Structure 1
Amino acid sequence: MKKIIPAHLAIAFVWFSSHFGGGFASGRQIVAFYLNHQWTSIFMPAVSMLIMGLSFYFSMVIAARFSVFDYSSWSRKLYGGIASFMAPLYELLFNTLLVLVTAVAFATGGSTITKAFGTSYILNTVVIAAIIFVLTIYGAELVRKSATIVSIILIACIFIIYVPNIVYFFPDIVSNFKAIKAGTIATGGSGTLLDSIWWAAKYGALQCCAIGAYIVHTQACPDKASLKKAAVVGFFINTGTMYLTYFGILAFADQGVLKEAVPSLFVVMHGVGGTWMTVLISLCIVIGAVSTGVALVYGTTNRLVNFMGRNMTAEQRTGKRAIHSICASAILVIACWIVAQLGLIPLIGKGYGNVGWVTLLVLTVPVLLRGFGLWRFPEDSAEKVLAE
Structure 2
Amino acid sequence: MLKRLFGKDGGMYGVVSIALVLFSAHAGGGFATGNQANTYFVGLGWTGIVSAVVAMLLLTAMLKEAMTMYNSRGLKSYKELFETLYHPFDKLEIAFEVFYYIMVVMVVATTISGAASAIKEYFGFSYASGVVAVSALTLVLVIFGASVVRVVESYMGLVILVTSLVIYAVGSFKGDGILNVLRLDFANSGFDNLPKAFMNGFIYAGFQCVQIPAMVACGGVLKNKNEVSNSMKLSAVINALALGLSVAMLLSWKSYYTVVDGGTTLPTLTATKAMGYEWMTVFYAISLILCLVSSAVSITFGFVARFESASVLKRVSDVKVRRFLVAVFILAVSMLISMAGLTNIIKYGYGYCGYVAIVLIVVPLLTVGAYKNKKYLSEREYKNFANAEPVNEI
- Per the shorter chain, which TM-score range? 0.7 to 0.9
Moved more, 322-331 or 92-101: 322-331
Q: TM-score, with normalisation over the residues of structure 2?
A: 0.79
Pick aligned residue for 2:169 from 139, 156, 163: 163
Would the alpha carbon gap of residues 217 and 131 (structure 1) be closer, same or farther in structure 2, given more than 3 Å must change?
farther
Percent of residue pairs bearing the same amino acid type = 22
Residue in 2 aligned with 1:268?
Answer: 272
Residue in 2 aligned with 1:317?
Answer: none
Would the alpha carbon gap of residues 39 and 153 (structure 1) be closer, same or farther in structure 2, given more than 3 Å must change?
closer
Pick aligned residue for 2:185 from 180, 185, 190: 180
Would the alpha carbon gap of residues 272 and 22 (structure 1) be closer, same or farther in structure 2, given more than 3 Å must change?
farther
Moved more, 91-100 or 71-80: 71-80
Deviation at 1:323, TM superposition (A): 8.1
Q: What SS class does the counterpart of residue 252 from structure 1 fall into? A: helix
Residue in 2 aligned with 1:314?
Answer: none
Q: Which letter does structure 1 place at the counterpart of 2:197?
A: S
Q: What SS class does the counterpart of residue 68 from structure 1 fall into? A: coil
Residue in 1 aligned with 2:288?
Answer: 285
Residue in 2 aligned with 1:355?
Answer: 353
Distance across 1 between alignment mates of 2:72 and 2:145 = 22
Distance across 1 between alignment mates of 2:269 and 2:337 = 26
Matches within 5 A, 1:205-354: 205-255=206-256, 257=258, 260-261=263-264, 262-273=266-277, 275-304=278-307, 329=327, 331-341=329-339, 343=340, 347-351=344-348, 352-354=350-352
Q: Which letter does structure 2 place at the counterpart of 1:239?
A: A
Q: Which letter does structure 1 place at the counterpart of 2:63?
A: F
Would the alpha carbon gap of residues 197 and 128 (structure 1) be closer, same or farther in structure 2, given more than 3 Å must change?
same
Distance across 2 between alignment mates of 1:118 and 1:256 = 18
Deviation per CA, 1:252-310: give whole Å up to 9, x if none: 2454649941321332233252x44443343243234224324433443453367669x
Contact 1:69/1:215 (CA < 8 Å) preserved in 2? no
2:14 is equivalent to residue 4 of structure 1: no
Deviation at 1:31, TM superposition (A): 2.1
Contact 2:72/2:382 (CA < 8 Å) preserved in 1? no
Contact 2:257/2:270 (CA < 8 Å) preserved in 1? no
Structure 2 stretches lacking a partner, 5+ long: 6-12, 386-394
2:22 is equivalent to residue 15 of structure 1: yes
Distance across 2 between alignment mates of 1:140 and 1:376 = 38
Q: Which letter does structure 2 place at the counterpart of 1:106?
A: I
Residue in 1 aligned with 2:9?
Answer: none
Deviation at 1:335, TM superposition (A): 3.8
Matches within 5 A, 1:346-385: 347-351=344-348, 352-373=350-371, 382-383=379-380
Aligned residues: 371
Distance across 1 between alignment mates of 2:300 and 2:49 = 32
Moved more, 56-65 or 173-182: 56-65
Q: Which letter does structure 1 place at the counterpart of 2:77?
A: D
Deviation per CA, 1:304-346: give whole Å up to 9, x if none: 367669x9xxxxxxxx9888767655553444234435x4756
Pick aligned residue for 2:86 from 79, 82, 104: 79
Deviation at 1:365, TM superposition (A): 1.0
Deviation at 1:174, TM superposition (A): 0.9
Contact 1:155/1:241 (CA < 8 Å) preserved in 2? yes
Deviation at 1:181, TM superposition (A): 1.0
2:50 is equivalent to residue 50 of structure 1: no
Deviation at 1:127, TM superposition (A): 4.3
Residue in 1 aligned with 2:194?
Answer: 193
Deviation per CA, 1:25-48: give whole Å up to 9, x if none: 232211222221153333222211
Structure 1 stretches lacking a partner, 5+ long: 312-319
Q: What SS class does the counterpart of residue 300 from structure 1 fall into? A: helix
Distance across 2 between alignment mates of 1:228 and 1:286 = 32
Deviation per CA, 1:357-378: give whole Å up to 9, x if none: 210110111111234216999x
RMSD: 3.8
2:36 is equivalent to residue 29 of structure 1: yes
Distance across 2 between alignment mates of 1:267 and 1:58 = 37
Would the alpha carbon gap of residues 150 and 43 (structure 1) be closer, same or farther in structure 2, given more than 3 Å must change?
same
